[in-house]
Structure 1
Amino acid sequence: MTKPTASFWIHELLLQPHAEGGYFRETGHSPELIVTEDRRERYLYSNILFLLTADNPSHFHRLKSDEAWYFHEGSTLTIHLLHPDGRYEAVKMGRHPEKGELFQFTVPKGVIFGSSIEGSSGDYALVSCMVSPGFDYRDFELLPYDALIKVYPDYGSILEKLAYKKLPEASFSKDHV
């Protein structure tokens, strides 16, 4: 049997392009609703399948909810975190725990993050993500390079790689950090 490709998974799992980069499909959410601090009803949690490729990373964004990532298939994935205190952190996910790679990791709410695959253009990583409280586009911010470089000037090389210079249309973005 040949090794599955990114195209195989995109087709088989009915994934669609995501504004932050990569491909995704919502796979479900809790039947329960909760009321958030800002008095909005939200699902207790929501789930997606998410696929990134070496040439289609997840660009820097921020959520108002925690997001748990679960590695399934493919190449090593790096989650790049920009913490509110100015600290940068890189977390590796993959199938090699002996190299420090994790099978699961939770990005804390309010942390700016993006993800990348190192390798050739054929490399990909397939993960699933669970957001709690459930994902809502009103709580999703794509953050542009110009805004991030002012707050994180020491991390220009990763910002060059994962921050949009110009945000895509209908990106649900904000220009502040």
Structure 2
Amino acid sequence: MQTAEQWITELQLIPHEEGGYFKQTDVSEQTISTPNGIRPLYTSILFLLNTESPSHFHRLQSDETWFYHEGHTLTVHCIFPDGHYEAIVLGKNPHLGEKLSYTVPKGTIFGSSVTHDFALVSCVVAPGFDYQDFELFTQTELLKNYPQHEIIIKQLAYETI
């Protein structure tokens, strides 16, 4: 298995502001009208997370589907609009309850982590990703509304942005 550093170099991944390393791979030529403006029908990225650089809590105005490729398991931590928390494990062992893919519904606050080494995934956002539709959260912002999830919020939300 290749190392995280080898994947980052080979795929020409760069740091993402939410954490991890990424490279946009596709942008649909078709567009769609959304409440926030015209967006591509979909966008996709390659995304690598490691133990030092998780995906911090954020929210999108579009659905995002994650596809597991390589490395160790990755956990997508979701705080749904109704306030309940769920951890979805992506990996290559469905018999152990791991999923090969998972769609995070729009409006869900989520972040992702790995407990060992790294994980490489693809993420497809539909309608396509636009930074105007991206919200990154601090611990203070999330703890105000979701104090019951303090442990995971302190792990995956920035203290300051």
The residue aligned with 2:35 is: 37
SS at match of 1:8: helix
- Determine if the alignment matches structure 1 residue 127 to structure 2 residue 121: yes
- One of 70, 95, 98 as aligned partner of 1:98: 95
- List alignment gaps of at least 5 residues for structure 1: 168-177
**Moved beyond 2 Å, runs of 4+:** none
Partner of 1:113: 110
TM-score by length of 1: 0.89
**Structure 1 counterpart of 2:147, from 149, 153, 163:** 153
SS in 2 for 1:7: helix
Distance across 2 between alignment mates of 1:61 and 1:12 = 27
CA distance in 2, matches of 1:139, 1:103: 26
SS at match of 2:144: helix
CA distance in 2, matches of 1:161, 1:106: 22
- 1:58 corresponds, among 55, 58, 69, to 55
Aligned residue type for 2:33: V
**SS of structure 1 residue aligned to 2:95:** helix
- Give the superposition deviation at 1:125: 0.2
Q: 1:8 aligns with which of 1, 6, 9?
A: 6
Report the AA paired with residue 163 of structure 1.
A
What is the DSSP-based 3-state SS (H/G/I as helix, E as strand, rest coil) of the residue aligned with 1:149? helix
Cα displacement string for residues 72-103 of structure 1 (whole angstroms, at most 9, x for unaligned residues)? 00000000000111100000000111110000
Q: For residue 148 of structure 1, give the secondary structure of its aligned residue in structure 2.
A: helix
Tell me, what secondary structure is at the counterpart of 1:160? Answer: helix
**Which letter maps to 1:152?**
Y
- SS of alignment partner, residue 11 of structure 1: helix
Please give the per-residue CA displacement for 1:36-72, whole angstroms capped at 9, x wherever unaligned: 134x111000010000001110000000000000000
Letter in 2 for 1:10: I
TM-score, normalization by structure 2: 0.98
Identity %: 55
